[in-house]
Amino acid sequence: MRIATWNVNSITARLPRLLAWLESSGTDVLCLQELKCAAEAFPAEPLRELGYEAAVNATGRWNGVAVLSRVGLAEPVTGLPGGPAYEGVTEPRAVGATCGGVRLWSVYVPNGREVGHPHFEYKLQWFAALRELAVREPGERPFAILGDYNVAPADEDVFDPALFEGATHVTPAERAALAELRAAGLADVVPRPLKYDRPYTYWDYRQLAFPKNKGMRIDLVYGNPAFEAAVRDAYVDREERKGKGASDHAPVVVDLEV
């Protein structure tokens, strides 16, 4: 089974590329983030024509997540159980489903904005709720949380650590939140190095960041032991970041033997 995660930065803007990528990549299950569309505007029909069912959590603002599957979709859950609200709003940042016997969650972790901002505390609270999910839900079956974590796990996951000093995505508090997920029994299943020295997943649109490979690895796949044992290959599809109309994130792909 081929599973992937991709922050598409607007499914409406990216739909032609998304459909073409699904056809060419052989992906069975795709976790999407940053849909930027309302649930009623989600392009379910063209995806259904390719054989994909969808579990969607979206309200039309800057967030929105989905799980697409052509190997079955059961036990959908919309929203992070016990997750915090921000300024009174429960944002659409998580959706779970069981696909081909594998329990998966697509997550779009809050950005945090800047250290000391209320959104940064919200981000840490959101991670705490995510950890509780990782403790409660997996059981014996393969289980993984995929998505845009908005945290670079280590200094080698950003192109120049000195430029990020004091900024979000690299703080000890955020990295401790990832460590708590690992302590709950999950592992980062995308190894380093891959097919190139720095397997970044995100490059800003500005200042030629992608051609200069000034990126970050913030799109992650954290799986339980059953999921990790089934992994046969993993890679970042860097080619999909190229060309006109690309998202600023690349898909991360994991092949399982289940």
Which CATH number characterizes residue 205's domain?
Answer: 3.60.10.10
Tokens of 244: 């006109």
Kindly list the catalytic residues: 108, 148, 249
Instruction: Confirm whether residue 165 is marked as ligand binding.
Output: no
- The DSSP secondary structure of the chain, one letter per residue, reads -EEEEEE-S-HHHHHHHHHHHHHHHT-SEEEEE---SBGGGS-HHHHHHTT-EEEEE-BSSS--EEEEESS--EEEEES-TTPPPBTTB----EEEEEETTEEEEEEE-----STTSHHHHHHHHHHHHHHHHHHHS-TTS-EEEEEE-S--SSGGGBS-GGGGTTSTTS-HHHHHHHHHHHHTT-EE-S-SS-SSS----EE-SSTTTTTTT-EE--EEEEE-HHHHHHEEEEEE-GGGGSSTT--SB--EEEEE--
pLDDT digits (tens, 9 = 90+) for 202-222: 999 999 999 999 999 999 999
Instruction: Confirm whether residue 233 is marked as ligand binding.
Output: no
Q: Which residue has the tokens 């809050």?
A: 110
Instruction: Confirm whether residue 204 is marked as ligand binding.
Output: no
Is residue 196 predicted with pLDDT exceeding 90? no
Instruction: Confirm whether residue 224 is marked as ligand binding.
Output: no
Is residue 27 predicted with pLDDT exceeding 80? yes
Total tally of structural domains belonging to the chain:
1
Measure the CA–CA gap between 172 and 181, rounded to whole angstroms.
Answer: 14
Is residue 199 predicted with pLDDT exceeding 90? no
Is residue 198 predicted with pLDDT exceeding 70? no
Instruction: Give the pLDDT score at 61.
Output: 80
Across 170-196, average pLDDT = 88
Q: Are 17 and 242 in contact (CB under 8 A)?
A: no
Is residue 126 predicted with pLDDT exceeding 90? yes
Instruction: Give the pLDDT score at 138.
Output: 82
Instruction: Give the pLDDT score at 192.
Output: 61
Give pTM, 2 decimals.
Answer: 0.96
Instruction: Confirm whether residue 213 is marked as ligand binding.
Output: no
pLDDT digits (tens, 9 = 90+) for 145-156: 999 999 999 999
Could you tell me which of 187, 65, 75 has the C-alpha nearest to residue 126? 65
pLDDT band at 197 (very low <50, low <70, confident <90, very high): low
DSSP lists the bridge partners of residue 187 as 223
Residue 131: how many CB atoms within 10 A of its CB? 18
Is residue 43 predicted with pLDDT exceeding 80? yes
pLDDT digits (tens, 9 = 90+) for 67-109: 999 999 999 999 999 999 999 999 999 999 999 999 999 999 9
Q: Residues, the chain, total? A: 258
Residue span of the structural domain in which 84 resides: 2-256
